[in-house]
């Protein structure tokens, strides 16, 4: 049984250090990327407060394909360059959206989503997948969340 939990969810640097340690422990030695993404989606869901969607899209061909996640069923395919996810993947950079209604081309998979953070997972200079976080709260994500998920993405680069 795995029993990971943050010791203080209000302390973001600590939360992300503990999240990364737990993700590292969960995925260490496991070569199956889908299994690792599935466990990390569940881990993030339990660790990070105020989310209504947390998961992965994989880059396959010239688009993104839905990967393991927690939350409501979501759009399966997103072309590179479209939406928040396709922008992050196409430009190989994190995209933090304080208000999804003001992001041109935002793809609404869950009408409750108000803010979003998407972080690419880069392997050998190529975006292999993205981590997508949605929140029902406006301006839920800040630079500390982005830094924390970028640290998680760096760990996962060798594990997916």
145 belongs to the binding site for ligand SME (CB under 6 A): no
Residue 18 sits in the site that holds ligand SME (CB under 6 A):
no
By the rule CB under 6 A, 120 interacts with ligand SME: no
Does residue 72 contact residue 59 with C-beta atoms inside 8 Å?
no
C-beta of 134: minimal distance to ligand SME in Å? 5
Which of 27, 43, 132, 156 forms a contact with ligand SME (CB under 6 A)? Answer: 132
Contact between 83 and ligand SME per CB under 6 A: yes
Options 13-21, 29-37, 106-114, 144-152: segment touching ligand SME (CB under 6 A): 106-114
CA distance 41 to 51: 12
């Amino acid at each position: 049984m795995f029993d990971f939990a943050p010791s203080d969810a209000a302390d973001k640097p600590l939360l992300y250090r503990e999240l990364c340690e737990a993700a590292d422990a969960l995925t260490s030695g496991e070569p199956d990327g889908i299994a690792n993404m599935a466990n990390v989606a569940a881990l993030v869901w339990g660790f990070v407060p105020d989310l209504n969607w947390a998961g992965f899209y994989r880059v396959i061909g010239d688009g993104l394909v839905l990967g393991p996640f927690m939350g409501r069923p979501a759009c399966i395919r997103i072309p590179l360059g479209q939406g928040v996810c396709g922008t992050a993947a196409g430009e190989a950079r994190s995209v933090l959206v304080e208000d999804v209604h003001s992001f041109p081309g935002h793809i609404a998979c869950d009408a409750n989503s108000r803010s979003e953070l998407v972080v690419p997972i880069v392997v050998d200079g190529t975006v292999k997948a993205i981590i997508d976080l949605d929140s029902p709260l406006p301006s839920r994500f800040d630079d500390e969340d982005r830094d924390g998920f970028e640290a998680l993405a760096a760990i996962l680069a060798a594990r997916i």
